[in-house]
Amino acid sequence: MKNPKIIETIEKAKHVVVISHVNPDADSLSSASAVYTYMLKLHKKVSFFCASKNIDEKLKFLPWVEKLRDVFPADADLAISLDCGTHTRIGTEIAVDLINIDHHQSNDAYARFNIVDPDAISTTQVLFDFFKANEISINPKMATALYAGLLDDSSNFLSKKTDEKVFAMAKELCELGADVKTCSEYISKYMSLAAYRLKGAMMLSMNLHQDGEIALLHVDQEMMQKYGARASDCEAALEEALHLPSVRVALLLRENKDRTLKGSLRSDGSVNVNNVANIYGGGGHPHSSGFTLKTNDMQDVIKEIIQLIKEHKQ
């Protein structure tokens, strides 16, 4: 679908800010990186904003990541948010016109312009479709970024959403010069020693509930500090808990520094975990979602969530 109004808005803008969400993942940074290149091709003044200071080492190969700033520029007249499922994921208030490009089911079209496709496997896929529909050429830098988001959000093409459209996009990005080898090195393989050690500890403490259908993992501040791990290092163990044949849903409860709890849910498709996260004011996708709780009493929370997961079985 062509978006003439959005193209016109971009063309009129003088200073554009591309936005990745707080604690950015590969999809958010990659899609923002591709838009950053697109703005440079239009000879726009462009800034790259993310409210979080610490960027995962494995994502630093992406084009323009060194340009990231955590202060929103005062003279900007247009912002484009990438992979931000809610306005709060931006991490700051935006006073300028906003274009929201995303694929979260929970996205409530919070911007003046919204390009949201919940069927897309990644925000980079939404962006790829936007570029093609509006005849915006994709150079090798953009192709590498778009491929990185596709690779990560499809869990290395293992996700159930991986289909012929995903492979067709990957093929086209290869032909456009995407650096597939570097993406594989960093997105699919890169693990720090801290992340490996934390993963080992998480696997040892994993419990199965409901005849092995629910895998429960938890990480407290003590574990994080012991291994020198970061929040994003918890993801690998959570994803892999679903590799157990009996497991339908994996739940991770991670204690934040301020003693609140961050819940992350992954599902094989038999439970819509976006609906479960919604109950706690969070959201995401049917197969992957998150929420935050203002308590660190894990035992009560565990009982309640297991009950909710049971109720949301499809």
Q: Which residues bind Mn ion (CB under 5 A)?
A: 27, 83, 123, 153
Task: Tell the smallest beta-carbon distance from residue 304 to Mn ion (Å).
Answer: 27
Task: Tell the smallest beta-carbon distance from residue 198 to Mn ion (Å).
Answer: 23
- CB closer to Mn ion out of 56 and 153: 153
- CB closer to Mn ion out of 83 and 255: 83
How is the chain classified by DSSP, letter by letter? ---HHHHHHHHH-SEEEEEEPSS--HHHHHHHHHHHHHHHHTT-EEEEEES-S---GGGTTSTTGGGEESS--TT--EEEEES-SSGGGG-S---SEEEEEE--TT----SSEEEE-TTSSSHHHHHHHHHHHTT----HHHHHHHHHHHHHHTTTTTSTT--HHHHHHHHHHHHTT--HHHHIIIIII---HHHHHHHHHHHHT-EEETTTTEEEEEE-HHHHHHHT--GGGGHHHHHHHTTSTT-SEEEEEEE-TTS-EEEEEEESSSB-HHHHHHHTT-EE-SSEEEEEES---HHHHHHHHHHHHHHTB-
- CB closer to Mn ion out of 83 and 179: 83
Task: For residue 216, count other CB atoms closer than 10 A to its CB.
Answer: 19
Half-sphere exposure (Cβ direction) of 228: Cα atoms closer than 13 Å: 3
Task: Tell the smallest beta-carbon distance from residue 187 to Mn ion (Å).
Answer: 13
Report the alpha-carbon distance of residue 59 to residue 76 in Å, rounded. 26
Task: Tell the smallest beta-carbon distance from residue 282 to Mn ion (Å).
Answer: 15
- CB closer to Mn ion out of 28 and 37: 28
- CB closer to Mn ion out of 9 and 154: 154
- CB closer to Mn ion out of 65 and 223: 65
Task: Tell the smallest beta-carbon distance from residue 106 to Mn ion (Å).
Answer: 12
- CB closer to Mn ion out of 37 and 123: 123
Task: For residue 204, count other CB atoms closer than 10 A to its CB.
Answer: 7
- CB closer to Mn ion out of 21 and 262: 21
Closest CA to 299 of 240, 238, 253: 253
Task: Tell the smallest beta-carbon distance from residue 162 to Mn ion (Å).
Answer: 14
Task: Tell the smallest beta-carbon distance from residue 251 to Mn ion (Å).
Answer: 20
284 touches 274 (CB < 8 A): yes
- CB closer to Mn ion out of 254 and 287: 287
Task: Tell the smallest beta-carbon distance from residue 83 to Mn ion (Å).
Answer: 4
Task: Tell the smallest beta-carbon distance from residue 132 to Mn ion (Å).
Answer: 19
Tell me which residue has its CB nearest to Mn ion: 27
